[in-house]
Amino acid sequence: MESPVGRQFGGARRRLVEELRGKGITDLAVLKAFENTPRHLFVPTGVAHRAYEDTPLPIGNGQTISQPMVHAYYLQLIKFTGSEKVLEIGTGSGFETVLLAHLAAQVFSVERIAPLLENARTAIAAAGVERVSLLLGDGTHGWKAHAPYDVILVGAASPDIPVPLLEQLADGGRMLIPVGTREEQKLIQVTRVGDAFEKAELGPMRFVPLLGEHGWTS
């Protein structure tokens, strides 16, 4: 049963879903994931009234929760079947983690900033989803213990594709990662075919830098 606070935002959540539909999101599973994910749980209380605007919002520690349309675009590109094991690099607020839990079989998510991870852990629990595992660490190393992954989603921009992430992609698996400079990137989709990696450019994006040993070092 939805809480009174959840009901308070129900109309706003449905309006956001309609806005995403109007902007070209046609994957019904993605739209349903947004309908079932209370974004107000994943932002500071001071900006909760803006939680269902299609805009990025600050979440502390110099980080933001991405614009919903960016999440929706990312997720629609994957064409989830519901059976995937997913690695998410950059838990952030935990919002996309919960969207993924509605779309995939298992979600493993890595975050390097401890206070963000703890906030995300609390919000994910409040959202009531399962099949999510969280790790504090350098996301550019991936999470080798649970590899290989059918899908790897990287929520920050790297100067190049981290080799450990390529190694942890399953045969036939797909990765989305923004690659470029700190100011300007292109979204790259990588598909593993045996020991080869096919890469396709999907257009310009702008993300915070991916910090870590195999990304930006400062």
Q: Is residue 6 scored above 90 in pLDDT?
A: no
Read off the pLDDT of residues 73-110 as tens digits, 9 standing for 90 and up: 999 999 999 999 999 999 999 999 999 999 999 999 99
Read off the pLDDT of residues 9-46 as tens digits, 9 standing for 90 and up: 778 999 999 999 999 999 999 999 999 999 999 999 99
pLDDT at 62: 86
Model confidence at 4, in pLDDT bands (50, 70, 90)? Answer: very low
Domains of the chain: 4-205 (3.40.50.150)
Distance in angstroms (rounded) separating the CA atoms of residues 87 and 91: 10
pLDDT at 10: 77
> What does the buried/exposed string (b/e) look like for 5-44 if buried means 16 or more CB atoms within 10 Å of the residue's CB?
eeeebeebbeebbebbeeeebebeebbebbebbbbbbbbe
Q: Would the pTM of this model clear 0.85, i.e. be above it?
A: yes
Q: Mean pLDDT across the chain, nearest whole number?
A: 93
Model confidence at 8, in pLDDT bands (50, 70, 90)? Answer: low
Residues of the chain with pLDDT > 90: what percent?
Answer: 88
- Which of the pair, 143 or 206, is modelled with greater confidence? 143
Contact of 78 with 17, CB cutoff 8 Å: no
CB atoms within 10 A of CB 147: 18
pLDDT at 3: 45
Distance in angstroms (rounded) separating the CA atoms of residues 132 and 115: 18
- The DSSP code for 67 is P
Model confidence at 7, in pLDDT bands (50, 70, 90)? Answer: low
Read off the pLDDT of residues 39-86 as tens digits, 9 standing for 90 and up: 999 999 999 999 999 999 999 988 899 999 999 999 999 999 999 999
Start-to-end CA distance of the chain, whole Å, equals: 45
3-state helix, strand, coil in the chain (%, to 5): 35, 30, 35
Q: What's the average model confidence in pLDDT over 189-211?
A: 94
Catalytic residues: 66
Q: What's the average model confidence in pLDDT over 186-213?
A: 94
